Structure 1
Amino acid sequence: MIITPLDPFGVRVDADVDRPGARLDELPVAELRALAREHHLVLLRGFGGFAGALELTEYAAGWGTISMWPFGAVLELVEHENPDDHIFDHSYVPLHWDGMYRPQVPEFQLFHCVSAPGEGQGGRTTFAHTPAVLRDADPGQRELWERVTGIYRRKMEFYDSEAVSPVVTTHPDRGFPVIRYNEPVAPDAEFVNHPDLEFTGLPDDQLAEFHDTLTAALHDPRHLYAHDWQTGDLVVADNYTLLHGREAFTTRSPRHLQRVHVLGEPALDNPALVR
């Protein structure tokens, strides 16, 4: 494997130039899994793509047990004509963690780019390195964040759930501190199907400081990686550690991703799920 670091975190694995289009299943998943746990994000580029959702599912099963949804294993992330939720719109998506409303939280997300947006059309997927945010935080800011608990309610086609989590908590397997946070939607944003968010633990007059300082730290270039998609890319992200979101993209652009959730070993029962 040809491995190079990404900035500010993660690694990129490129296909050998002498073997363009080599199959991903020729790479040892155990080594890729170790890279994902160490570096939290792995970009696989230049390899042969997947013929369809079934082929992607078969590959993802090599990473572990797939978290199944009512629609199956693969979520097709593509703009809908009349979306009933923001994930099927072209708007930005705030930073969050996957599985926060589900019975089990996946360890890994596999994102496969079927078709990349055109140049200048936006649509980068964003990833925030939450242990780095906490490491670099001013002690007073971190103490403020540690006092806050988020209460998140969201209703969509696939669930109607409530999750409650401290903003600063611990990695379920490795014990280092991480952030679990769903950014509030910007007040001026056009956004389909707002989640209902509530934050407790601070007086009302300190909540703005909490959100402003945490958002600035999460989006600090030292902590945020924004991925420019190329058709055929496969990105594996550590969902236990990172938060992720999406930049807005030009409506009717050809942006089409596929996403699969892979559970940990053992599977993590969602500690935040209330209902």
Structure 2
Amino acid sequence: MSASLAELAPRLATVPASFRIVPLDAALGAVVEGFDVRNAPVGAQLWALKTALREHHILVFRGQQPDDAAFLDFTSHFGTVFAPPRNAPVLGSDPYGAAPDIVLVSNVDDGLLGNAELTAHADHHWTPQPSSGSLLYALEIPATGGDTTWFNLVKAYEALDEPTRREIDGLQLITYNPFLRRRHPLPGVAGVPRYRTPDIEPLTPWVAHPLVRTHPDSGKRLLYLGEATEVEIVGYDASRGAALIARLRAHLLQPRFAYTHRWQVGDIVYWDNQATLHSRTAFDPATRRRLKRISLSGSRPF
């Protein structure tokens, strides 16, 4: 148990002795032991979980078996289910802009995201109020591939040199909606641009968020930028902005800020979407990978 969690010891005196939160030997993350998400947690456990999430950004629950109702009930202790704006599609959105409470992340059974590699990103970054966190529950896992890596954006910002911090503090970044870009691909261009230049018509609707975000719970500052999503710094020369973003992306993707999770059936991983990015390795399309995700509502970044 970490130093800050040790302070909770008096509150935890009434919970089972098997309940423990053990930090991972990594840049972020902790494993929750002795806890079944199907059982109603006591207040001391919830406080410990929320404190651990604020400190470690990822919580790993092993050997879980909730049905959909129990999964939703557990997540309700941490907030309401994320509901995207109807004009800002997200993963799972129907033609009318509504998204299900539980999203099937799978390459089978009409699931979403297939088997390809996914670059590091924060869910719903392009919406006015991005989700605060997500919980992903593993039902079927391939023997190899499909691993998820999380990156600690707080540590990435703290490791920047002082001149770079002064340069980026106060900048506003537009992260364009990748689902809208799929509907409106650029003629003659393979893939998606990583930085919007003046010759590209901006996707609408769009919203600008701080490039350096303040975490709403901890007050820590972090580098709020994904690996490859189309972006633009407000009021910056395009070539200068593209160079700066490329430099920041190379910095935040360093292994020293990362934790890679090898999934097991029954894992639930709860991550702070306000302080992390996550990516996925590709896996054999002939194998099955099936997980369920619930995302929680958040607030406008500042």
Instruction: Give TM class, smaller chain.
Output: 0.7 to 0.9
- Report the Cα offset of residue 25 of structure 1: 2.6
* Change in CA separation of 1:74 and 1:81 when aligned onto 2, cut-off 3 Å: closer
The alignment status of 1:169 with 2:213, answered yes or no, reads yes
Percent identity of equivalent pairs: 25
- 2:198 corresponds to: none
Cα gap change, 1:98 to 1:161, in 2 (>3 Å)? farther
- AA matched with 2:267: D
Please give the alpha-carbon distance, in whole angstroms, between the structure 2 residues aligned to 1:101 and 1:205.
22
2: CA distance between counterparts of 1:242 and 1:102?
16
Which residue of the partner structure matches residue 25 of structure 1?
A: 39
2:55 maps to 38
Q: Which residue of 2 aligns with 1:5?
A: 23
Q: Among 115, 120, 139, which residue is 2:140 paired with?
A: 115
Query: Which amino acid counterpart does residue 25 of structure 1 have in structure 2?
Result: N
Q: How far 1:31 moved relative to its partner? A: 2.0
The higher radius of gyration belongs to 2
Distance 1:55 1:23 in 2: 7
Contact 2:133/2:295 (8 A) holds in 1: yes
Q: Structure 1 residues 2 and 172, CA, compared in 2 at 3 Å: closer, same or farther?
A: closer
* Distance in 1, Cα, partners of 2:260 & 2:141: 14
The residue identity in structure 2 corresponding to 1:79 is N
Gaps of 5+ in 1: 17-21, 186-195
2:245 is paired with a residue whose SS is helix
Instruction: Choose from 220, 223, 242 the match for 1:179.
Output: 223
Counterpart Cα distance in 2 of 1:155 and 1:133: 24
Distance in structure 1 (CA, Å) of the matches to 2:140 and 2:20? 24
TM-score by length of 1: 0.76
Greater strand share, structure number: 1
Distance (Å, rounded) in 2 between the aligned partners of 1:163 and 1:246: 26
Gaps of 5+ in 2: 1-18, 85-97, 184-203
Residue aligning to 2:191: none
1:239 equivalent in alignment to 2:269? no
State how far apart, in whole Å, the 1-side matches of 2:38 and 2:252 are.
Answer: 32
Alignment of 1:192-207 (within 5 A): 196-207=230-241
Q: Displacement, 1:65?
A: 1.9
1:126 partner letter? T
